[in-house]
């Protein structure tokens, strides 16, 4: 049922973040689509994406989770997909010195679209549940290591994410009390852009040779 070129990978406005947009195949039973192919995604990002852990979350409407990242080292790239309900998904550039440091890019994901978001090491992730029972699947490149998680306050005005809340945001105490972007930078918690690029290059050495393939760039 799958077809060559049935999955489109589009670079976001933040470098090293991508949207994976599948082609869905509906029939009388429902529908089918490819979520991702490891070799194609690895070719686009420039190094192997190896899944070390899978996580799931279920959230009620107006829940905000994030902004979450991972200290480098060890880092933790993520492929995030909404598999139930709908969310406003946000990628945030946490890499000091990046041309898009502190900027965000929004992707609306829902159970019907199958759209996923890939976030390289050094990028932060957050989302707002637009429906009750919003279910998210996270494929992570590294296993969870206690003490390496990084939380940035999702309401930080220096980032200015335009959350579309219908009421008060429902957050964990850790997220609600998290540092702002510039506070985290001042405390040396954020990676530099150069460190992340060096990390990607080190990962690239493990990428096997493969035929070239293109990637579309967001306008």
- Catalytic residue set: 68, 138
DSSP 24: P
Residues 6+ apart with CB under 8 A from 170: 59, 60, 62, 63, 64
Would you call 202 helix, strand, or coil by DSSP?
helix
**Which of 79, 77, 3, 7 is CA-nearest to residue 40?**
7
Burial class (CB in 10 A: 0-12, 13-18, 19+), 80: buried
Q: Which helix (H) or strand (E) holds 40?
A: helix 38-45
Q: How many residues does the chain have?
A: 219
Please name which of 1, 42, 3, 41 lies closest in space to residue 20, comparing C-alpha atoms.
41
CA dist 179 and 50 (Å) reads 30
Beta pairing, strands 86-93 & 134-140: unpaired
Distance of alpha carbon 45 from alpha carbon 39, whole angstroms: 10
């Amino acid at each position: 049922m799958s077809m060559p070129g049935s999955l489109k990978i589009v670079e976001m406005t933040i470098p090293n973040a991508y949207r994976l947009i599948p082609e869905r195949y509906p029939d009388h039973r429902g529908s089918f689509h490819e979520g991702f192919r490891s070799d194609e995604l690895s070719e686009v990002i420039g190094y192997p994406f190896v899944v070390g852990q899978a996580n799931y979350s279920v959230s009620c409407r107006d829940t905000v989770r994030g902004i979450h990242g991972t200290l480098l080292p060890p880092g933790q790239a993520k492929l995030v997909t909404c598999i139930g309900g709908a969310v406003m998904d946000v990628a945030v550039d946490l890499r000091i010195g990046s041309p898009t440091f502190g900027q965000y890019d929004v992707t609306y994901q829902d159970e019907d679209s199958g759209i996923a978001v890939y976030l390289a090491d050094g990028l932060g992730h957050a989302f707002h549940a637009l429906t009750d029972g919003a279910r998210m699947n996270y494929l992570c490149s590294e296993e969870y290591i206690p003490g390496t998680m990084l939380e940035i306050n999702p309401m930080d005005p220096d980032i200015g994410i335009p959350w579309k809340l219908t009421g008060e945001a429902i957050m964990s105490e850790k997220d609600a009390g998290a540092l702002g972007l510039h506070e985290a930078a001042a405390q040396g918690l954020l990676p530099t852009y150069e460190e992340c690029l060096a990390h990607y290059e080190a990962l690239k050495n493990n990428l096997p040779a493969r035929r070239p393939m293109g990637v579309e760039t967001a306008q």
